[in-house]
């Protein structure tokens, strides 16, 4: 475990392995870096692997005030600076993908590729937007979170995953969940969807999306069609059931990441 400072806030991160480009594992909102435990140990056999806790999350310090996506970007930049890595490939879980795109914009060629895990890459459906609204209401947020957890864990028998979602993510209260919903909704409102945001990067950067949910064939097909006309985009449907496939198939994910980074 290592510690750096971001705008006066202590940011805790792990630093394992050797070799560049280094991987920077970034959890989504209301999750901490332990979600990458299995994946980090595997990937660090191939190259340097970093993972961080955002401010107000895990073992990092409290934010000391309101914060959002811009502050998360600063947290990631502080870890990159402290690591002294010359090239870094962000491996972002879910909506940490928005931070990954901004890192590419800020650091250019120092971010040679992007890896996204289990992210909603297309226009958000109405039910998703309704959930984000529900998380921002003091009256409905708890019920909304529980329904979201049920959706993420549907058909899954993985005690470690269930404990992480129910206990660790469930430990964050209304303040953090409403903040997460606000920031996520703002990102989709501004960009439309992640594919459109990635189109805005110039020059284009190679991108790999690994995911398990949604299971719908149309979701995969839409991404494959996008990939056919944008040679820098790659998508792979994982043999997993939950929203957090890294708990179920860490070896498969590690292999795919390493092949992509080396390629």
* C-alpha–C-alpha distance, residues 243 and 50, integer Å: 22
The pLDDT, as a whole number, for residue 100 is 98
- For the chain, the average pLDDT equals 96
Residue 50 pLDDT class (50, 70, 90 cuts): very high
Are the C-beta atoms of residues 246 and 35 closer than 8 Å to each other?
A: yes
Cα 109 to chain centroid distance, Å, stands at: 21
> How much is the pLDDT for 260?
98
Q: Which domains does the chain have, with CATH numbers?
A: 2-123+193-262 (3.40.50.1820)
At residue 156, the pLDDT reads 86
Residues 55-114 have pLDDT tens digits of: 999 999 999 899 999 999 999 999 999 999 999 999 999 999 999 999 999 999 999 999
Give the model's pLDDT for residue 155.
84
Residues in Cβ contact with 229 at an 8 Å cutoff, skipping those fewer than 6 apart: none
Length of the chain: 263
User: What confidence score (pLDDT) does residue 80 get?
Assistant: 98
Question: Is this prediction's pTM over 0.85?
Answer: yes
Give residue-wise pLDDT tens across range 117-175. 999 999 999 999 999 999 999 999 999 999 999 999 888 889 999 999 999 999 999 99
């Amino acid at each position: 475990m290592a510690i750096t400072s971001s705008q006066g806030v202590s940011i805790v991160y792990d630093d394992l392995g050797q070799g560049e480009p280094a991987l920077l594992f970034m959890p989504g909102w209301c999750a901490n870096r332990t979600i990458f435990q299995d994946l980090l140990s595997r990937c660090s056999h191939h190259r340097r692997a970093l993972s961080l806790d955002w401010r107000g999350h895990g073992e990092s310090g409290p934010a000391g005030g309101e914060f959002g996506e811009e502050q998360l970007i600063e947290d990631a930049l502080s870890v990159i600076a402290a690591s002294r890595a010359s090239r870094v490939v962000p491996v972002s879980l879910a909506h940490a993908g928005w931070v990954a795109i901004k890192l590419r914009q800020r650091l250019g060629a120092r971010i040679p590729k992007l890896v996204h895990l289990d992210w909603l890459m297309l226009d958000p459906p109405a039910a998703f937007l309704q959930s984000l609204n529900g998380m921002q209401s003091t009256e409905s947020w708890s019920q909304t979170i529980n329904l979201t957890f049920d959706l993420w864990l549907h058909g899954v028998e993985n005690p470690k995953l269930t404990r992480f979602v129910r206990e660790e993510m469930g430990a964050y209260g209304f303040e953090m969940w409403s903040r997460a919903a606000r920031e996520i909704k703002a990102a989709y409102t501004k960009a439309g969807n992640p594919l459109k945001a990635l189109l805005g990067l110039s020059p284009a950067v190679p991108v790999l999306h690994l995911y398990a949910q949604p299971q719908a064939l149309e979701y995969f097909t839409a991404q494959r069609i996008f990939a056919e006309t944008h040679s820098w985009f790659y998508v792979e449907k994982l043999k997993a059931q939950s929203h957090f496939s890294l708990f179920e198939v860490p070896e498969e994910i590690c292999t795919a990441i390493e092949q992509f980074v080396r390629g």
